């Protein structure tokens, strides 16, 4: 388990890396559930993978952030993508290896990766 100082340093590093914004002008928002259940299921590396991939691609219309409990613990790690005018897509049981496909298909091309969403969860 990481200490509070380590988590704050990771947050500061990611905010500086991709310019996380907390305003409504951000466009698409990617939110990773980081309650204890999410962290225990591996949400930290998922958050980092999203931040790294969005930053690597220079997607300035996308903000990456975290939230507390989303309420579906059995599906952690959970990632929600909010698109203006389109609503929310919920990805479940996300692992870092899934992130490049989600970013390229959904965040870049606008096509959610349906097999990773809650409607397809087993």
How many angstroms separate the CA atoms of 1 and 6, rounded?
A: 10
Structure confidence at residue 23 (pLDDT): 46
Q: What percentage of residues in the chain have a pLDDT greater than 90?
A: 72
Burial class (CB in 10 A: 0-12, 13-18, 19+), 94: buried
pLDDT digits (tens, 9 = 90+) for 40-51: 999 999 999 999
62 beta partners: 28
Domains, the chain, in order of start with CATH, read 4-120 (3.40.30.10)
| Cα angle 118-93-120, degrees, rounded to a multiple of 5 | 30
């Amino acid at each position: 388990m990481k200490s509070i100082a380590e988590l704050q340093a990771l947050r500061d590093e990611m905010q500086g890396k991709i310019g996380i914004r907390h305003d409504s002008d951000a466009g698409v928002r990617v939110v990773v559930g980081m309650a204890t259940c999410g962290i225990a299921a591996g949400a930290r590396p998922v958050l980092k993978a999203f931040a790294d991939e969005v930053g690597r691609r220079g997607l300035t219309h996308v903000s990456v952030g975290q939230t507390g409990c989303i309420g579906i613990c059995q599906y952690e790690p959970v990632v929600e993508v909010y698109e203006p005018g389109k609503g929310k897509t919920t990805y479940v049981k996300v692992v870092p290896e899934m992130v490049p496909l989600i970013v390229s298909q959904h965040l870049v091309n606008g096509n959610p990766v349906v097999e990773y969403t809650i409607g397809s969860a087993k």
